[in-house]
Structure formats: structure tokens, C-alpha cells
Amino acid sequence: MDLSGKVAIITGVSKGIGRATVELLLARGMQVAGWGRTAPADFQHPRFHFIECDIRQEAEVQKAYQATEKALDKEVHVLVNNAGLGNFGPIDGFSSEQWHEMFDTNVHGLFYCTRAVLPAMKRQQLGHIINVASLAGTAGTANLAGYCATKYAVRGFSDALFKEVRPQGVRVTCVMPGSVETNFGGKEPGQEPDPHKMQPEDIAAAIVHALEAPQTVMISELQMRPTQVK
């Protein structure tokens, strides 16, 4: 799909993969609405519109979608469900509140955002939904059980959704990165890139690769790992 002039919504844009994807889609000529609780610091662009939204709240998602339509005056062609968080530890070592926080963001919020954009995408017979999951959605890991559960849910949702909407010309891609050097989990990226981790820009490039595939092609899943491991 030619991205120039088209409209994308990206969730979780303050830093990391979300911000890197914003910058790359703007470079491709898109108009981008960034939804999140926090705007990207020191970032302005005439085709970027930050819309404050807590995707865990269904009513806020509806308002953000209406604000996006009003601000950009165009139908939405791309949704990147990137917002996510992880609370790690043994199952009997973290609270029910932390469990619900993960599902409310990683699963329920993703559902609210997807449901908001689908009617227009079906109507225009054109659209692409990118769900950023994780390799944690392919294999369980000790002390990541809650996070793995949310990412397994995202992968299953994506697999079912693409089969549901492909007759209307809507594409769905589940992107599953391994280790990425971001602020995820509260860790700060190092001064020099870690050769054993991917960079946010690498994941953004994979997202653009899936979006720019010919309309006759749907990349349904992308698994990504660092080339070298420690």
C-alpha cells in the first residue's frame, strides 16, 4: 500500500517503538494521530497530532477516534496497537491490580481501539491493523506468566481477526519482537546500542514493511529476534 497522504493511528507514542513508528510513518508522508497518556517529548511535526487518551477507558477511545476524524478530516487507513506494559514476577508475588492493569492495556484497550476503526475500514474496503505482541506470545517464561497470557491473547485475537475481515480487504498483522532496547519494564536504554538487542527503529521498519506490501499480500505474523544472543 502506498502510505503517502494516508492516515494512521498509533497508540503508546511517548517513546520506544511507538515514537519510532510515528517518525517513520511521517517520513513516508502519512498523517499520524498519536494516542496516549503522555505526548512524545520535544517532538512536533505538522502532520502529527497528539490526542490524549487512556486506551483502558472505552469512552476515551471513542472520544479519541472522533477527535482524530475531526482533526484530520479523512478516514483512517492504519491502526498500530502498540501501547502495552508488563508486570513481572511470580504468580503469587504480584497483585490482582497489576494483573488487571496488564489485561486492561494489552488486551482490552487493543480491542477498544480495533473496534473503533473497523467500521470505516470495512466501508472503504481498505485498512491495515498492526498488533504489537511479543515472542512472549509464543512460549511461556517463568515470572512472566501474566505478561505472556496477555500476548498469547493478542496473538489469538490477531489470528481470528484477519480471517474475519480479509473478505472486506482489511489486513491484520501481528508483530512479535523479542528483546528490544527500550524503557520497557522501567529500564533505561544504554548510551551505546546493545548488540544483543534490537532497536525500536528496527521494529518500526518491520511495521512499515508489512504496511507497504502489495494490497494482494498480507503478512499475518512477523517474529523478530536479535541476530546474536548473549
The residues carrying an active-site annotation are 147
Measured in degrees and rounded to the nearest 5, phi and psi for residue 179 equal -70, 120
What's the length of the chain?
Answer: 230
State the cell numbers at 96.
490482582
Going 106 to 175 to 123 to 51, the CA torsion angle's sign is positive
Q: How far is 126 from 90, CA to CA, in rounded Å? A: 43
Q: How far is CA 30 from the centre of its chain?
A: 16
Rg (CA), the chain: 17
Of the candidates 186, 226, 221, the one whose C-alpha atom is nearest the C-alpha of residue 202 is 226
